[in-house]
Amino acid sequence: MRVILLGSGSYSGTPKVLCECENCSRARRFPQYRRTRFSMYIPQINVLIDPSPDLYYHMSYVNYPALSEGDFPPDEL
Ligand SMILES: [Zn+2]
């Protein structure tokens, strides 16, 4: 079974706002070290595990069909 790891960062992702630790500083300088929040997707059974606020970005990454234009109603204020 194929499992897609969508994010591997902590609860706030990496880099964290205002954090000066080595990991966050490196992630600001080098984009390959940036991490979104943890989430997994299993395409065979169409299951999303632990969706995060980065969900739209994650689903765009796997070309999830429900993200195509017209599948979401417009925001109503
Ligand atoms: Zn940090």
- The Cα 7–Cα 34 span in angstroms is 10
Distance 22 CA to ligand 1 centre (A): 7
Distance 68 CA to ligand 1 centre (A): 34
**63 or 40, higher pLDDT:** 40
DSSP reduced 3-state for 13: coil
Distance 51 CA to ligand 1 centre (A): 22
Percentage of the chain beyond pLDDT 90 is 39
Which residue carries 């994650």 as its tokens? 58
Distance 10 CA to ligand 1 centre (A): 10
Confidence of residue 56 (pLDDT cuts 50, 70, 90): confident
- The Cα 46–Cα 13 span in angstroms is 24
